[in-house]
Every structure is written in structure tokens, then in C-alpha cells.
Chains A and B, each alone.
Chain A
Amino acid sequence: MSGAAFQTDADSPASRHIYPTADRPDDFIPPDFAIECASEISTTPQVILISAPAAVGKSWLARDLSASSGNPLWDLSHFSVGSGFFAGTVTEVYGADQFAAFVSALRSGDTCLILDAADEALVRAGTGNYEAAIENLARLIGTDLAAHASVVILGRHDTIQDTEMILDRLNVHSRVVEVDFFSEAKARQFVRAKARGQSKFAVVKELDAFLDQFIFDVQAALGADVWSSSKTFLGYAPVLDALAAFSKIEENPLKKLNEIKKSGRKGHVWDLLVEIIGTIASRESDKFANNFGGDDEKKRKFGRAAYDTTTQVRMLLADNPSTVTPAIPNDGDDDWLNDIEDQVRQQYRMHPFLRSSDDDLENPLLRFTNAAFRDYCLAQAFRADQADDAPRLASHWQHSLVNPSPMFSRFIFSSNLRPSTPIHADALGVIADSHAATFRQTDMTLWVDSSTEPDLVELMLFSPQEAYESIELRVVDSKVRFFRALSHATVFCPDFSVVAGSGAVDFVLGPRAIVYCDQFEAESTELRILGQTNSVLMLAKRFLGSARRVVGSSDSLKVQQLEGSASYPWHQYVEKSDGLVTTSKGELHLAGMQLRKLVLWFSRPSMTSGGLSYPRNAMDTILNKGRAPREIFDFCEAQGVLTRKGSSYVLDLGISLPAITQNDISNPELRDFLETFVVWSK
């Protein structure tokens, strides 16, 4: 009996988010999968766990699975899961009389539950409740193997990892299947299918040539000669979506791409994407100008100004777009003013960034067709720094249905969207969430640093491949706030409080997070620690907040409270004293963080020796601006581990780089070096 055979109770509120079988999505290109445990391939697992990065189209995949297999799709993002959730919802949706038959079909594998949006369910309900829900699911499906899987769960890697651990503990046989980024052939197929869509052009001209050129440019920028080195960008669905949208509106996308390349300095691949998305918005202005002005050049110019990219972004991000007044130029005829607002609104309704069926949603971030367009608009809005906009958008961002993608954190650092003046501190939470959603094993580090100016923090993105300019944020109450996650990041704000997860149920720390602050306020109900040994290091004078639980192994989190003794739940993670005589651990960690920051600048491998090097002029400027720690730089020079060779400074510390980047003061070489530095600096 397939899942579709069970009738849902239409009156049940839960049935609105449970589909007997989903509609097959248009133009769906199935992704490639990688199975983590190939050795267990011979047995059919009870639960298939599909892990995928943010915004690659898990929901599309879930819909396709449901449509092709005829099994029910549950959208967990709308539920507050917890103890008894699955049994209760089955009873509510299918009725008590069908409960036994449904469970029996599940156990035999005749019906398979497809559970989408496990991440949102976890974030909304917290780890404890999520665990209780999975336990309830495990009780429903039992532990006997069947011919087919009983459940498919889709989510991001960390959620799937947690789910796998819970199922393992309950002796439920599961298998993780990882959605890979698109291969080149599939990426091309994806863009072609999307671009063809409802395009006015029957055949998208020069699409293949455009894609050839785009792929070539990106690979050249990344220094990658094979697809696998650049697939996290070129095989990422939202990027391809943007390319398809671009191809749809440009009759000759290749020509336009060449124009973009010629038009200005492009530091890295995200600049190119920003330009492409900007071109789509700009084309909308042109389209409106042509419709509005017709043959009248002056009227066209007037129309273009009234519906420029800024107005589009304002409307796209407005709570109520119909209340947004276009920025109407003063030099227009009175006649033009009569209907321009209506025409702008009509044009807006057809905006390519908008998901047509959902434009009545009150959270504007849920109205976008894809994360690339959403993050582009957000970056534009934060850069514009309009009054009240940052807190409003940050608040929308924290909605459980809004899924962070890594693109925002790349866009905000791109040459075109990087703010040149300090922006509202609420942007920090959004940037950190976006950066935390980055693909696994990223080598990029987000560095949040106290600025030399009071009430300002500086944000830097360190990458071995590309150089990013820093941005500054205004802090109003000596608090820097993070909303959902802090991963692959270092927060070095000894004079600020760091607030984690205010108003949230769940907050993720790690992998690779170091926090050094005055006080750490954990305000989410639970904190999840991700990563392996010493993945997260936290140093603060005090640990406060309403958090009730820290979930993670004692190996992965190390805590040092610099004043007094640590309270619950931090006391179990406190680093034990190891009899330091000359220097305190706090001083060593502080010194370690300075060294780490210096080393991040020297991340480019030296061509002249075995150390790390950085151009001298550039480093001198960085040091003068206070963006690299001068004291440890001078110490390194005095110790002879930092030398001048030609036009570069070369750093050769003789200490393992992972020890430095993880601030692992148990490493004897690093520890000796730091102790000498502390004594020297005193």
C-alpha cells in the first residue's frame, strides 16, 4: 500500500503541510549523490538520511522523491516537533482508524515518509525536542529491516549527523547519502533547463558559449583547472539559478559577460555573480523605462530613475511593497506622476527575483525565487544602511523558515557591495549566520575584531585564495550579537559582550570558532557545539545568560573563565589548570590569538622559503591601520622568525600551522613561543 493510499483529514491543521504526494517540480535536474558508508550498501536501511549544503534544492529533491515514489511528503519547517510528534501527527492527519495500517505500512517499507526541512524543525524546537521526535519516529518504524526504507530525512550536514547519531543509539539502521554539487554536465543542463523555462526566447542564444566563458573565468579566478576545485561555486544551484535568470533576460549573455568583465576591477568570483545579478536588476529598470517611456527618451530616463535597482531592492525587502514610494525624480512632467506609482507596482509584481505564488508572504525574505537574489538584495540594503532597515531585516532573517546561505557573507565583502562606511551591527549576526552556512571544510575564516575606534568592530574575511577588504560595524551598546551560529570564525573583542542566540531556541558554535570577549551571554535555550577536539575555544571574564544546556562533547569545547569560577553549564568545559608559573592561560590565549591573526595575513605560501610571506608595502599599510597586531609582529622580527626578503616579509615560525589556527596552547613549540612573547611584552 503506497503512502498516497492513506487519506488525510483535510480539516486537520497539520495536513496543510503534509502532502499525500507532492507535485513534481518543473525542470528538476536530479543531483549526484555520494554514499558515506559504501560497505553497508548491501542492506536496505530503515532510514535514508540525505545531507546537502544550504540552498542546493533539498526541498525540490524531496518533492521529486515524493512525486516519483508516490509517498507522503512532510514539511517539518511548519511544525514544532517534540515527544510523541510523529505518532500524534499520524493520528491527527490520517485518523485513529488508519493509524495501525499506516504504521504497519511504514514498518514493512510499503510506505515511506519523506521528511523535508529537518534543519528548520531542529532550530525551531531545539535539540532536546528534536531528539524526542526522532525517538518517537524510531518507535513507530521499529528496528526490523524491510525491503524498502521507511523514512527519508533531508537536511544540512550537521542536522543529518545529529540525526544519524540518535538513530544509531536507538539501533535503527540508517545510511547517509550526501548530495554533491552539480557536475559540469549537470550544471550546464540545469542552467539550460532553467533558462529555457518560460523565456521569451525559444532558444537561448549563445548560452553554451556564455557558460564556457563563465566557467573559464571563474576557474581562472580561483586558480582551479578542474571542475572539482571550483564546484562549490560553479556547481552550486543558486549560482546557476542566477546565471539562468541572467541568460533569460539577456539576448546575448556572452557579450554582456564580456562587458561586465571589462567594466571594472573584479577581485573574486563572487564579484562576477554580483555583477550578473545586478545586471538582471538593471535590465528590469530598462524594461520598465521602455514600457513607461516608449519613444520618449526623457520619459524613459525618468522611468528608469523611478524604478532603479535601489527602488527594486526597497520593494523586494519591504514588509508591504505596496506602501513603498518610488524615488521619483523632480524633473518629470506632471502627467507622468499620475500613474507612475501604479506602473512601478505592476512591474514589480513580475520581478524575476520574486516567487510569484508567494508574494503575499509577510516576511519579505521568503518571497525570493532563490537565495542568491535574496542575499544580493540583503547586501544592498545593509550597505545602504537606511534607518530602521537593519534591525527589521535582521529580525526577518531570524525567522525559522529563512535558511541562511553562504552567499550573503561573500556578497557583503564583494567589491561592488562592500560598505565603505560603518554599517549597523545587526548585519554582523546575518553575516556570521551566512558564513556558518558555508560548505564543509572551508578554509575561510571570519574575523571579528575590536576596532581602534570605540564602538566599532571590524570584520575581515581571510581566505587563502582571495583577498577581501574589511568592513566596519557600529556597535550601540558594547554588545556584538550573533543570531544562529558562529563557525569558522574568530571573535576578538576583549572589551565587548558577545550575545549568542537571543530569542532563539538553538545556537550553533563551531566547528572552528574562537571567542575572546569581556562577557559571553548565551541566550538561546540550547547551544550545540560542532566539530572535533578543541573545535571551540571560549575565553571571557564571565559567562552569563539563560541557556539551559550545552550539547557537545567535552573534547570539542574548551572554556576559560578569566574571573571567578565557571557556573553551570560551562563548568564541565573549563580547562583545568596546568601549573603555569610565569604566565596565565588567559595571557597565552590572548597572545595566541594575536599570532593567529598575524599568520592569517601571511597565509600565502612563500616562493622564496619554507615560511609564509606577505608583500612588504601591503603589510606596512595593514600594520599602520592597526589591522594586524603590531606587537607580535615586532616580536617576531626581534626573534628573527620574521625577515625581509626582497619585497616581502617572510614568516618562518617552525610551529605547526593547525596549532596556531586552533590556538592550541598545549602544543609545546607554540606554548614556548607565546610564553616568551608574553614575558617580552611585559
Chain B
Amino acid sequence: MSLSQYVVVSGSGSRILDEVTALNRVREDRSAYLVVVTSVSSLNVISTDRTPMLTQILKVIGDDPTSPAPLTAALSGLVGLSGTERHIVRVSPTRRVVLIETIETSRDEIPWPEYLPRMSDESLLSMALRICRSVNISIAWKAFPSELISELAANTRHHAAQERKILTDRVRAAFGRHSERVSDEDSRRALIDLVEARARLQSQAAVLEAHGATESSESQILENTIQSIDSLLASITSFRLLELTTETARANEIEAQRVRQDAARSKSLNQLVTSLAFPALWVGLLGTNVFPTAQWSALFLSPAGAAVAIVGTALFFGIGWLTGGAIYRAKESSDHTSQL
């Protein structure tokens, strides 16, 4: 907020006036009150008891300079166009003046999310005006600062509630989709959102703490929201863990199946190789012509001889197959026993 806004509160209502008119009005009308909404760029003023502006106003209107301690609250959602500015509000009450200062405390690395509403520079003034108009402020003036702090807390609560709801929806959506189709993207996005939201809220809480507002209801709201986000994080982390475990088990199962299939294939291959050994020897034997050519050549050139050769080959193949099977079964049994 670049300019100061002056709201004069009297029995006839609350109205925004320019500085000079407002101060004159409050100086002349002792039953009137003044609310000033302004912005402060420097953090140094926080450490002083009263800002020079308030001292000056009290001097101009000729009012009692004693005042209770200022109250501090966060202005959740006032983040500027960049979305990274963080503000707190300091409410300094005196007998007839309340000075409301917005102070830019820091710029957060994590921008305000697009899914949460942003405050405008009009919002704080609007809240102050609404309180002035909702009650007979002449009677309830003393309650005005605490009412404003409550309104700011309600604003923070509203944002926190929205944040919780939206993040929970995202987490639920991520869970829901996983039941149908395994995809990392949604749960990874939800996880990042949660981590970012947590970091942002933590930073907001730290700012409040740094400005002495640890007992405020806003701190409590932030703490509760962080706890909720932690629960969501725990949920989604557990879910991710469960998902990883399931995927690992599934991968192991696939691997085991592959090994089993490989083993079966090897066994079949080996058995085949073993089965072919005897026929190969038999055919080899026949091919070496170790039998006397005179007696045997006629036999082997006849159909009966060919049949003997074929039957012999088949017989040796059968013997080889059965022998190989027996050998690999014995080996498997031995492997299984050693595994146990």
C-alpha cells in the first residue's frame, strides 16, 4: 500500500477522508475516532514502542500519548504482483487512534500458490471498515484492535482451510488415479505441493515468531495447518513407500519368473543337447565305416539297413533324453536342497 488511508469514525458512520480533513475532524470532535491504515517499508520500526507517525498524529489531534502495547498479526495473502512478498500487520491502539501498519517482512523463495486467493492493497482497509460499520464503534472502540486481529486471524484461517482442502483433494486425486493406473506424476506433484506449502507456512510462522506474535491465534492456525500438511505428507510418503514396495515385489516376481523361464529353457536345451549326443555318436560311428565294407555295405545300402540306422538313432535319442532328464532333475533337487 503506497498511501495512508484515514478513516474517521463517529456516530454518523465511518468515512474515508484525506489526511488534513481527517486530523482536523478528530481534533475538533472529541467523540470521533481515527483509524489510519498505512504501509511501512522498514523493519526497524518494529523494534520501537511507537512509530513516529503515531506520535505525530497524537500531537496534532492533542491526544493522550499513553498507549497499550501494539498487537501483531500476519496479513495472509498480501503478496504483491510477484507473489513472493510477505507482510505482517501491526496494530497500535491509543485512546482515540488506531494505527494499522502493514510491514513487508521478507520475500519468500516459494511464491504464493495460484490456487489461494490473494489480498489486494484494499483488503486491510476493507476489513477495518467492515468492523467499524458492523458495530456501534463509539461503544465498542476499545474492542476494535482485537476485532481487527480476529478478522486477520479469520483471514489466515480461511486461507489455511482452503490450503488444507485443496492439498487434500490433490493427494486424494493422486491416490485415486494410482488405483487405476500407476503413474508417478500426480503423486510427485502432490508431494512437491505439500513440501512447498509446508515450507511457506513454516516461514510465515517464523516471521510471526520473530515479531513476537507466538501466542497469537494465527500462530496456532499455522501450526495446525503445518500439522495437517505433515499428516498429508506422511500419508503420501507412506503411499509412495507402499507403492515402491509393491513395485519392488512385482519386479522381483518378474525377475524370478524370468529366471525360472530361463532355467526351464536351459534345461530343455541341455536335455536336447544331451539327447543328441548318443545319436551323434551312433551316426558318427556309422560314418567312420568301421564295419567291413563287403558285408555291411550291402546291408546299409538296403532299406532295412537304413531303417536300422534310423531306429538306432531314435533309440539313442530316447536314451539320451531320459538320461539328460534324470541328470537335471537330480541337479535341481540338489540346488533346492542347498538353497534350503
Contacts and interface: CB of A to CB of B under 8 A. Distances in A.
Interface of A: 80, 124, 319, 362-364, 388, 391-392, 394-396, 398-400, 477, 479, 497, 499, 501-505, 519, 521, 523-525, 542-548, 564-569, 571
B119 A395 contact: no
Contacts of B119: 544-546
Nearest to B157: A548
Contacts of A477: 3
Given A391-B17, A521-B122, 16 more contacts: A362-B12, A363-B13, A388-B17, A392-B15, A399-B13, A399-B133, A497-B120, A499-B120, A502-B122, A503-B126, A504-B133, A505-B130, A546-B120, A565-B115, A568-B162, A568-B166
A80 B127 CA distance: 17
A569 B21 CA distance: 38
A211 B54 CA distance: 61
B114 A564 contact: yes
Contacts of B123: 521, 523, 544-546
13 contacts: A80-B134, A319-B10, A362-B12, A391-B17, A392-B15, A497-B120, A503-B125, A503-B126, A503-B130, A545-B117, A545-B120, A567-B117, A568-B117
A519 B3 CA distance: 19
Given A399-B13, A546-B155, A571-B115, A505 B134 contact: yes
Nearest to A542: B118
A395 B16 contact: yes
B200 interface: no
Interface in B121-139: 122-123, 125-130, 132-134
B62 interface: no
B13 A502 contact: no
B116 A568 contact: yes
A571 B127 CA distance: 23
B158 interface: yes
Contacts of A564: 114
Contacts of A521: 120, 122-123
A521 B119 CA distance: 8
B14 interface: yes
A363 B123 CA distance: 25
Interface string B132-165: 1110000000000000000000010010001000
Residue from B12, B155, B158 having most chain A Cβ neighbours under 10 A: B12
A548 B120 contact: no
Contacts of B127: 546
A505 B116 CA distance: 20
B65 interface: no
B118 A567 contact: yes
Contacts of A400: 133
Interface of B: 3, 10-18, 21, 77, 114-120, 122-123, 125-130, 132-134, 155, 158, 162, 166
A391 B15 contact: yes
Nearest to B117: A567
Chain A CB within 10 A, most for which of B10, B15, B127, B132: B15
Contacts of B130: 503-505, 525
B82 to A, nearest CB: 12
B14 A395 contact: yes
Contacts of A568: 115-117, 162, 166
7 A-B pairs with the lowest CB-CB distances in the bound complex, closest first: A503-B129, A395-B15, A362-B12, A523-B126, A544-B120, A546-B123, A521-B120
A501 B127 CA distance: 11
B11 A499 contact: no
A523 B13 contact: no
Given A502-B125, A502-B126, A523-B122, A565 B12 contact: no
A569 B126 contact: no
Contacts of B118: 542, 544, 567
Nearest to A571: B115
Contacts of B134: 80, 124, 505
B12 A363 contact: yes
B120 A396 contact: no
A503 B131 CA distance: 8
A477 B13 CA distance: 23
Contacts of B11: 362
A545 B12 CA distance: 27
A546 B151 CA distance: 11
Contacts of B16: 391, 395
A396 B133 contact: no
Contacts of B18: 388
A630 to B, nearest CB: 33
Given A505-B134, A544-B120, A546-B126, A565 B114 contact: yes
Nearest to B16: A391
A503 to B, nearest CB: 3
A122 to B, nearest CB: 14
Nearest to A394: B15
Contacts of B126: 501-503, 523-524, 545-546
Contacts of A396: 12-13, 15
Contacts of B17: 388, 391-392
A319 B12 contact: yes
